[in-house]
Structure 1
Amino acid sequence: MVSDPLLPPARTPGQRWDFAAVRAEFDLPIGFAPDALAEAEDAVARELDGDRVDATDIPVVTIDPPGARDLDQAMCVERLSRGYRVRYAIADLGAFVTPSGALDREATARGQTLYLPDGTVPLHPPVLSEQAASLLPGEIRPAVLWTIDTDDDGHPVDVDVRRAVVRSACRFDYQGVVDDLARGEMHPSLAALPEFGTLRRRLAAQRGAIELQLPEQEVTSDGNGGWRLALRLRTDIDAFNAEISLLTGMCAAELMLEAGVGILRTVVEAGEDALGWLRQSACALGIDWPGGTGIADVLSGLDPDQPESLAFYADSTRLLRGAGYTTFDGELPGASSHAGIGGPYTHVTAPIRRLVDRYATEVCLAVCAGREVPEWIRARLAELPSVMGTSDALAAKVERACLDQVESWVLADRVGETFDAVVLRGGGEQAEVLISDPPVLARCDGTDLAEGQRVTVRLTAVDTTARTVTLEPVP
């Protein structure tokens, strides 16, 4: 379903194709307060503490989207004589952020980096997020180094985490690694990643992890002040890279649970009513779901190019509702699992971009070193679920508003035209459809549209100010 991206219509003189209206609507911050900037500059000038392992000889490498400069993670995956060794270097924001300082207060107010097509609203000032804290290639950087040894099947058998200094050997983007894999020319630090990632994906299915292979709408610049809209399908390299992060987050969660203090990312397992409804959906879509087969196995066996699969993925998102953060200190939480992952999990791999990762990382460092968890961490754990919940909700709204804006721009001069689409959700007065070219996700009037159905829709109206498009089915 990947199509050639469509450019927006030609601009009239003085017309702007930026996202200022989105930034204003959500009152997104511009820049940082002077005291936070000054604190960031002072932190960059400070010498690193001496209690760090010199890991600059480990050839870790990064995989990120093209043009990204806030590089949180660098990895090296090795095949051992028995099992595997994963070295995962994570940017160490604890080296720069003073607890309760001006920078910490501003990061707490933001919660996470927001990504808009015309630029980010960063969690930390760029002097940190894109320079001193970022794991840029060839640069010596403070990091939190995870070393995870596994058995031949990919189960972790030994976990170590400590502060270090690292130097990324190389920077890759996802498509570049996909191309290297196709040519059989993987970097030595990534040569074992496909094999190990495949093992971890197999274990994920055994755990009952819910993997939804819905394509992502992607907005990129056309290089001339406009925007392109395309679908990005998830590649094997995306999945393998994600498995390294998931493995680390699961190991971190186990450390916290053993110590009786920490913060987890949790999703309550869906009840029988939700699964029963989903079975009815599978039946209606013609998807085979044998008795005794778990939902993870059903999802992993679907072809993401088929319209029925896309509709079933969309329906399966209801199994992941109710995501939140669970903190504990002393008494273990009653619900500690993430239904989408199939076990306990926490965020520790993106501290440049997400506030909670810095806190969870400090807990793991203390636990692994046999030290008491810092009191400033314990004192603020309880407020993190609210901070991150508010931030997550804002990030989702901003992302959707930007996509709606671009969709209205690319369709602005095509009113009256017809388009091929797939119905993702139906059964009501309005259906949710995915147009294939350009890749637009929108509501469509009509009560007779069935999920998974291929349809033709007509564009009847566009409002670029309200960021809306109006579709109707063509008989």
Structure 2
Amino acid sequence: MPSSRVVRVRTDDRDVVATLRRGIEQVQAELEVTPQFPPDVQAAAEAAAAAPRLPELDRTDVPFVTIDPDGARDLDQALHIARDPDTAGGYVVLYAIADVAAFVTPGDPVDVEAHRRGQTLYGADSKVPLHPPVLSEEAASLLPDQVRPALLWTIKVDETGEGTDVEVVRARVRSTAQLTYEQAQAAIDGGDAPEVLVLLKELGEKRLARDAARGGVSLPLPEQEVDTTDGSGPWRLEFRTLLPVEEWNAQISLLTGFGAASLMVYARVGLLRTLPSPDPRDLQRLHRTARALGVDWPAEQLYPDFIRSLDPTRPDHAAVVVASARLLRGSGYVAFDGEVPAEPQHSALASEYAHVTAPLRRLADRYAGEVCVALCAGDPVPDWVLAALPTLPEEMRTSGQKASSYERAVVDLVEAGLLAARVGETFDGVVVSVDDKDDRRGKVMAREVGVEAPVTSSVALPLGQDVRVRLVEADVDTRTVRFELAG
């Protein structure tokens, strides 16, 4: 489940496409990022794509499937689930993760460029990839009916959904089907799904229950889609509620991250994804915000349970979800070799956790995966991995900031385009935040268009109250949307 806003664009309108393309090019120029790669990097990637290092172990007998958004090409993960013949009610999860190290050599041009980029940047169907597409969307991607090198995780899970054993090895794999979330959900709902999807639902629901019992938190922000496909009017921004299969699929990735963290913590070497506990003052502030918005939060209800009770398609609930993001600030990575970090946990997951399931899109995953492969084989962690560990947290912090800026800028661009022809109109809204230093400034959620933007007033803004606001600015070039209190 995403913890940042996702906006997708569906359009056949050439003017809309041109506007978005110009705006996104401007964002990329401002942030000094580009989808293109230097010639030496592209050449090295093409050479690597033609000569992958395939492992000896052959698991192409396993009928893996991938489940991703429609149109995805950078497929990091392929899944297979079966019942465990040795444990009543248990499961065996086989999770194949793209093996970037089968193509990229430490210090080669592709590796150097990946360290400079850190991660793939996403925004409204635009992408600045971590690796050249000849690798990330072709040779290294777990596309259907193709033999690929992979890190193959085997995770045993008991009847309650708790992982009991984990191992990862290098293997050749082959996906047999590339499913979209919609296809997978339709098959499950229709009662004709293959066993892997039936078990994904069964295990995913158990993992979600364990997540709730453990006190895990995942912000339920829905995706938003800008739809201009019929060309008959202004842009429309519509919420798309996440399908259950997306949550179940995410639970398999989390299960793998927990297993990877357990291996590294036990061996006292690796790279963890961390998040400090929320500041009590931020919790108090969120209580006040919920009360001002009229969202019921019983005194005895814990924060994780409260977040799970929210419906993000409701503007008042969505405003609380957005406000609660303050409690998840401070996420990062910590590298260690010899001693476990003093604060190793990811507080939102209530456990130690590691990123290992998206190496095509995130630099850190390649290194954490290599640590786990070495530990499971009883081999020393490679020197090139140990040498890189100390600098990875800062590289990921820097690239993470750039990713957030890119996502935010593209969302601003889309919202400005959505409203550009409606300046002067009034909208129903709810004030979702008020500036601590000036109570005449804040943020409003305009219900009709699903846009949250700055609002000003000549009097104190009424936090949590319904208001009428007038759109006074929607500038695509500056990506600015601004309202003022009407009346």
Q: TM-score over 0.5 for the alignment?
A: yes
Report if aligned partners of 2:236, 2:449 keep a CA contact under 8 Å in 1: no
The verdict on how the C-alpha distance between 1:15 and 1:129 changes in structure 2, with shifts beyond 3 A counting, is closer
Report if aligned partners of 1:227, 1:406 keep a CA contact under 8 Å in 2: no
Residues 1:76 and 2:87 aligned together: no
SS of match in other structure, 1:168: strand
Deviations 1:113-150 (A, max 9, x none): 11244642211111101110001111111111111111
The separation in 1 between residues aligned to 2:316 and 2:157, in whole angstroms, is: 37
The verdict on how the C-alpha distance between 1:5 and 1:361 changes in structure 2, with shifts beyond 3 A counting, is closer
Deviations 1:392-416 (A, max 9, x none): 1111111111111121122111111
Residue number in structure 1 paired with 2:475 = 463
Deviation at 1:86, TM superposition (A): 1.3
Report if aligned partners of 1:7, 1:227 keep a CA contact under 8 Å in 2: no
Residue number in structure 2 paired with 1:98 = 105
Letter in 2 for 1:419: F
SS of match in other structure, 2:421: coil
The verdict on how the C-alpha distance between 1:20 and 1:380 changes in structure 2, with shifts beyond 3 A counting, is same
Residues 1:306 and 2:294 aligned together: no
The separation in 2 between residues aligned to 1:19 and 1:87, in whole angstroms, is: 38
Residue number in structure 1 paired with 2:3 = none
CA-based RMSD: 2.7
Deviation at 1:46, TM superposition (A): 2.1
Residue number in structure 1 paired with 2:329 = 321
Matches within 5 A, 1:35-114: 35-46=40-51, 48-51=53-56, 53-80=57-84, 81-114=88-121
Letter in 1 for 2:484: E
Letter in 2 for 1:474: A
Letter in 2 for 1:213: P
Letter in 1 for 2:440: E
SS of match in other structure, 1:265: strand
The verdict on how the C-alpha distance between 1:136 and 1:451 changes in structure 2, with shifts beyond 3 A counting, is farther
Deviation at 1:221, TM superposition (A): 7.8
Structure 1 unaligned regions, length at least 5: none
Deviation at 1:217, TM superposition (A): 3.2
Report if aligned partners of 1:7, 1:229 keep a CA contact under 8 Å in 2: no
Deviation at 1:58, TM superposition (A): 1.3
Is 243-252 or 402-411 further displaced after alignment? 402-411
Matches within 5 A, 1:231-270: 231-270=239-278
Residue number in structure 2 paired with 1:29 = 34
The verdict on how the C-alpha distance between 1:362 and 1:227 changes in structure 2, with shifts beyond 3 A counting, is farther
Letter in 1 for 2:469: V
The verdict on how the C-alpha distance between 1:450 and 1:317 changes in structure 2, with shifts beyond 3 A counting, is farther
Residue number in structure 2 paired with 1:348 = 356
SS of match in other structure, 2:454: strand
Please point out which of 133, 141, 166 is paired with 1:159. Answer: 166
Residues 1:442 and 2:457 aligned together: no
Letter in 1 for 2:82: E
Please point out which of 216, 225, 238 is paired with 1:230. Answer: 238
Letter in 2 for 1:135: L
Is 65-74 or 356-365 further displaced after alignment? 65-74
Letter in 2 for 1:210: V
The separation in 2 between residues aligned to 1:168 and 1:246, in whole angstroms, is: 21
The TM-score normalised by the length of structure 1 is 0.91
Deviation at 1:13, TM superposition (A): 10
The verdict on how the C-alpha distance between 1:459 and 1:282 changes in structure 2, with shifts beyond 3 A counting, is closer
Q: How many pairs does the alignment contain?
A: 471
The verdict on how the C-alpha distance between 1:209 and 1:34 changes in structure 2, with shifts beyond 3 A counting, is same
Is 429-438 or 378-387 further displaced after alignment? 429-438
Please point out which of 437, 444, 450 is paired with 1:433. Answer: 444
Residue number in structure 2 paired with 1:360 = 368
Matches within 5 A, 1:331-346: 331-346=339-354
Deviation at 1:451, TM superposition (A): 4.6
Is 249-258 or 436-445 further displaced after alignment? 436-445
The verdict on how the C-alpha distance between 1:160 and 1:217 changes in structure 2, with shifts beyond 3 A counting, is same
The verdict on how the C-alpha distance between 1:56 and 1:9 changes in structure 2, with shifts beyond 3 A counting, is closer
The verdict on how the C-alpha distance between 1:78 and 1:445 changes in structure 2, with shifts beyond 3 A counting, is farther
SS of match in other structure, 2:145: coil
SS of match in other structure, 1:258: helix
Deviation at 1:101, TM superposition (A): 1.3
Residue number in structure 2 paired with 1:419 = 427
Report if aligned partners of 1:107, 1:124 keep a CA contact under 8 Å in 2: yes
Report if aligned partners of 1:115, 1:121 keep a CA contact under 8 Å in 2: yes
The separation in 1 between residues aligned to 2:248 and 2:367, in whole angstroms, is: 26
The separation in 2 between residues aligned to 1:136 and 1:342, in whole angstroms, is: 34
The verdict on how the C-alpha distance between 1:227 and 1:75 changes in structure 2, with shifts beyond 3 A counting, is farther
The separation in 2 between residues aligned to 1:12 and 1:344, in whole angstroms, is: 43
The separation in 2 between residues aligned to 1:327 and 1:12, in whole angstroms, is: 42
Deviation at 1:207, TM superposition (A): 1.6
Please point out which of 189, 197, 203 is paired with 1:182. Answer: 189
The separation in 2 between residues aligned to 1:361 and 1:16, in whole angstroms, is: 36
SS of match in other structure, 1:466: coil
Residues 1:410 and 2:418 aligned together: yes
Deviations 1:46-77 (A, max 9, x none): 253443x2111211111111111111111122
Letter in 2 for 1:459: L
The TM-score normalised by the length of structure 2 is 0.89
The separation in 2 between residues aligned to 1:101 and 1:15, in whole angstroms, is: 34
Residue number in structure 2 paired with 1:376 = 384
The verdict on how the C-alpha distance between 1:38 and 1:304 changes in structure 2, with shifts beyond 3 A counting, is closer
Residue number in structure 2 paired with 1:297 = 305
The separation in 2 between residues aligned to 1:289 and 1:12, in whole angstroms, is: 43
Residue number in structure 1 paired with 2:128 = 121
Residues 1:279 and 2:287 aligned together: yes
Letter in 1 for 2:325: T
Deviation at 1:308, TM superposition (A): 3.4
Deviations 1:7-33 (A, max 9, x none): 989679999655211111111135222
